Amino acid sequence: MRNKMKRILSMLMMCTMILSMTSGMVFAEEATSQKASTTKETKVEQVENVIDILSVNDFHGNVKENGKDIGMAKMVGYINDQKAMNPNTLVVSAGDSYQGTALSNLTFGAPVNEMYKAMGLTASAVGNHEFDWGAHRIAQWSKDGGFPFLAANIYEKETGEPVSWAKPYIIKEVAGKKIAFIGLSTIMTKDQTSVENVRTLEFKSAAEGAKIWIEYLKAGKAEEGTPDVIVALTHVPAYQENYGSDPTLPVTGDEIEALCAVEGLDAVITGHSHTTVAGYVNGTPVVQAYKNGRAVGKISIELNDDKSVKAITPSVTAVYKISNDIIENEETKATYDKFDKEFEPITSEVIGQLEGNLDHGKQMKNVTPLGYWVADLMRKATGVQIGLTNGGGLRIPLKEGEITMGHMYEVMPFDNTLYTMEVTGAHLKALVDHGIEADFMGDGQVAGVKVVYDPTKEYENRIVSITLEDGTPIEMDKTYTLVTNDFIAGNRDKYNFDAATNRKDTFVPIRDVLVKAFKAEKVVAPSVEGLFVAKAPETKTYTIESGDVLWKIAEKFGTTYQKLAEMNKITNPHLIFAGDTLVVPAN
């Protein structure tokens, strides 16, 4: 009874919050685009004239409530409450739903599909991690979850036709309007997925795929008729610095900018970059809802009285910030508890104690304590000189205290194996250079070398000097032994191992090596200071002139506006003043 009363009070609070907000985009942690109203009649009319598209992206199997992750039961509770307040609501996923936690990995994503069924998912884009266990899983997920995957830019190489396990588009009719969703994957999928799992597939650019199918839909070729609104449901990255502080802040990214240049697109839902985005590109609304179910995106389509489209507004609600006010869906909680009880003996097994933290994250440059520890264990396990792995393959830091098997699946959810080889010094230098401050992946993690680099130099040409950890210079024509993982050994993340010799997949899972290390002895967080040293760049000063913008100044001095902002400790790179002095690269 108490839970029922709490749910009713929660619903009333949400209704009050929504009906008190003004129209247009609200850049706040709980954003909405619905109009304020003071009468019951106006409120009803308002809901009838708004179609909401709710979106999650990069859920990565986070079905358990844990920290900022609200879990599957609260996610269903929140989504279904939103649908109850506005029946004209569709729910979609922008991909990367399953891979990422022990409970999801051990069940190949089964609890995630139970969550999607409970919230009535309309469709999902195909993320790069949907291929981690093979493309055959996608059709099964569609069947089990009761929703279609959409893929308008993934084609079979042999036939030249769209893949059979997904649809290019879907059209849903809501409030008398036909809403079309076109599914688009990031072009990076071909480089960020195991080569064996995508060998038979061709990935067109998102822009090319959108153009083909927008023209198809606009020409009235779909059996469902010509859509009134076309939304791209994508796993394409998008970025918006300082989200929420300024509605004019640009949404950026090569793929999203090219996609939004395609005629006929009314809105874009994005993923992959794990960012919070609610803005516009070329006037097209774009939204992305962070990661792990910590936020929910919304595309609100406001209709005129004659049912024509009046406005389309993007917004994001940071649901983790209101988690205490969200009531768990009881049926979904029971489903989670069933899975949790079944696999608890595996996930809760204590494998050791950690002394000190093993930190890791995108905000940390170059080698992290966790990255070094993993790379070091990899080389020790195989008896080679250098350990190298991709930063994106390690998903969370490890904090001091008790470590369980569940933690190991969260740190390394991918079933990668140790892959040994021999490389020349010149090749080794190129591989390490590839991982320094790349803008499309996490920084490379390496053990066995020390590096001095110049961050102002062009990407893949930043190393000034490289030695073994004991200070012995790397000789460019000498051969060195190296171990990496089987994923990037296949030239994924744009690494290139073609020149390597004596290549061998040991088929030993890297996760097993980490577990063995914890069971063998306590771990002390390693020091990575001095392994990668950034050479201080030569600088000079520049006086900002009237009409200057930071990106143009950066272009003039061969750098990026982000680096200029960092060099000058500018918190808002879109706000500079004539007459102020900047520090800029001298060359």
pLDDT of residue 244: 67
Lowest mean pLDDT, pick from 33-37, 91-95, 330-334:
33-37
How far apart are the C-alpha atoms of 498 and 142, rounded to whole Å?
37
| 3-state secondary structure at position 562 | helix
247-276 burial, b for 16+ CB within 10 Å, e for fewer? eebebebebbbbbbebeebbbbbbbbbbbb
**Beta-carbon-side half-sphere exposure of residue 385 (alpha carbons within 13 Å):** 18
- pLDDT tens digits for range 404-417: 999 999 999 988 99
> How does strand 417-424 pair with strand 479-485?
antiparallel
Question: Hey, CA dihedral for 414, 417, 421, 425, is it positive or negative?
Answer: positive
Phi, psi of 105 (to 5 degrees): -65, -45
Amino acid type, 498? D
Listed by start position, the domains of the chain span 2-339, 349-534, 539-585
- pLDDT tens digits for range 488-533: 999 999 999 999 999 999 989 999 999 999 999 888 888 999 999 9
Confidence class of residue 2 from pLDDT cuts 50, 70 and 90? very low
How far apart are the C-alpha atoms of 198 and 157, rounded to whole Å?
10
Domain 2-339 - what CATH class?
alpha beta
Q: Is the pLDDT of residue 10 over 90?
A: no
Strands (E), 290-416: 296-303, 309-317, 350-355, 386-389, 401-404
> How does strand 229-235 pair with strand 177-185?
parallel
How far apart are the C-alpha atoms of 155 and 150, rounded to whole Å?
12
Residue from 153, 148, 150, 65 nearest 111 by CA = 65
- CATH architecture observed for domain 349-534: Alpha-Beta Complex (3.90)
Q: Is the pLDDT of residue 31 over 50?
A: no
Q: Is the pLDDT of residue 19 over 50?
A: no
What does DSSP assign to residue 492?
A: G
pLDDT of residue 16: 43
- pLDDT tens digits for range 553-575: 998 888 888 889 888 989 888 88
* Prediction pTM value: 0.77
- In this structure, the number of other CB atoms found within 10 A of the CB of residue 341 comes to 9
| 3-state secondary structure at position 45 | helix
What is the CATH number assigned to the segment(s) 539-585?
Answer: 3.10.350.10
- pLDDT tens digits for range 58-97: 999 999 999 999 999 999 999 999 999 999 999 999 999 9
Q: Is the pLDDT of residue 54 over 90?
A: yes
DSSP element (H, E) containing 248 = none
pLDDT of residue 535: 87
Q: Is the pLDDT of residue 179 over 60?
A: yes
Radius of gyration of the CA atoms of the chain, in A:
25
Residue 25 structure tokens: 């985009």
Q: What is the mean pLDDT of the chain?
A: 90
Measured torsion, CA atoms of residues 420, 397, 61, 53, in degrees rounded to the nearest 10: -120
In 120-205, which ranges are continuous DSSP H helix? 136-145, 195-198
pLDDT of residue 295: 98
- In this structure, the number of other CB atoms found within 10 A of the CB of residue 543 comes to 10
Q: Are 389 and 488 in contact (CB under 8 A)?
A: yes
pLDDT of residue 574: 84
pLDDT of residue 7: 53
Q: Are 492 and 191 in contact (CB under 8 A)?
A: yes
pLDDT of residue 245: 64
How far apart are the C-alpha atoms of 375 and 511, rounded to whole Å?
12
> How does strand 123-125 pair with strand 89-93?
parallel
Q: Is the pLDDT of residue 285 over 90?
A: yes
How far apart are the C-alpha atoms of 78 and 289, rounded to whole Å?
14
Q: Are 139 and 165 in contact (CB under 8 A)?
A: yes
pLDDT of residue 259: 98
Q: Which of 25-39, 396-410, 548-562 has the highest mean pLDDT?
A: 396-410
- Identify the residue whose tokens are 């993934």: 154
pLDDT of residue 247: 63
